[in-house]
């Protein structure tokens, strides 16, 4: 595992390749999840600007945390990714519960569907290009 104190971890995170990978990953996430959240929460929140803002805020916080957290590990297994994604689903559901006043079970469903869709889109991009 890269040692944060030695600077190896910091150099890796700020390498051009890594920044490009993160930019592509967040772009895919926002492009996929934002319209899904907006569509699935329409009955509970009529204002599109609020639905889009909630999706953006939830992802702007959770995506870097997960992406940088996984980058700090030497090996990312399926279980590690699943655990990280589960934490993201719960966090984003709480944002939708609070920001859009969705019932908790509905917020969890919206978050789960959006995250599964962006995970699948990311997997397709990775399979086709090797990125992110």
In the chain, the number of structural domains is 1
Q: Is residue 105 part of a domain?
A: yes
Q: Report the predicted TM-score, pTM, of the whole model to 2 decimal places.
A: 0.83
Q: How far apart are CA 57 and CA 75, in angstroms?
A: 29
User: Residue 67: what pLDDT?
Assistant: 83
Q: Is residue 14 part of a domain?
A: yes
Q: How far apart are CA 45 and CA 119, in angstroms?
A: 25
User: Residue 11: what pLDDT?
Assistant: 58
Q: Is residue 86 part of a domain?
A: yes
71 in Cβ contact with 13 (< 8 Å): yes
73-87 average pLDDT score: 80
Q: Which range of residues forms the domain containing residue 109?
A: 8-129
Number of neighbours of residue 75 by Cβ within 10 angstroms: 6
| pLDDT tens by residue, 31-70 | 999 999 999 999 999 999 999 999 999 999 999 988 877 7
34 in Cβ contact with 59 (< 8 Å): yes
Altogether, the residues listed in the chain come to a count of 132
Q: Is residue 110 part of a domain?
A: yes
99-127 average pLDDT score: 96
Q: Is residue 40 part of a domain?
A: yes
Q: Is residue 1 part of a domain?
A: no
* pLDDT over 90 (residue 71): no
93-109 average pLDDT score: 97
Q: Is the dihedral of CA 58, 86, 33, 129 positive or negative?
A: positive
Report angle CA 121, 123, 57 to the nearest 5 degrees: 50
Among 38, 39, 93, smallest CA distance to 62 is for 93
Q: Is residue 58 part of a domain?
A: yes
Q: Is residue 70 part of a domain?
A: yes
């Amino acid at each position: 595992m890269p040692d944060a104190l030695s600077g190896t971890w910091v150099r890796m995170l700020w390498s051009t390749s890594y920044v490009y990978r993160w930019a592509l990953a967040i772009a895919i996430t926002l492009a996929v999840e934002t319209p899904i959240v907006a569509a699935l929460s329409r009955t509970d929140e009529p204002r599109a600007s609020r639905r889009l803002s909630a999706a953006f805020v939830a992802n702007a916080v959770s995506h870097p945390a997960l992406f940088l957290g996984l980058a700090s590990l030497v090996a990312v297994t399926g279980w590690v990714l699943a655990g990280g994604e589960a934490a993201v689903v719960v966090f984003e559901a709480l944002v939708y519960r609070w920001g859009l006043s969705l019932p908790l079970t509905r917020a969890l469903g919206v978050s789960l569907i959006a995250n599964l869709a962006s995970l699948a889109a990311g997997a397709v991009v990775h399979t086709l290009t090797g990125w992110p």
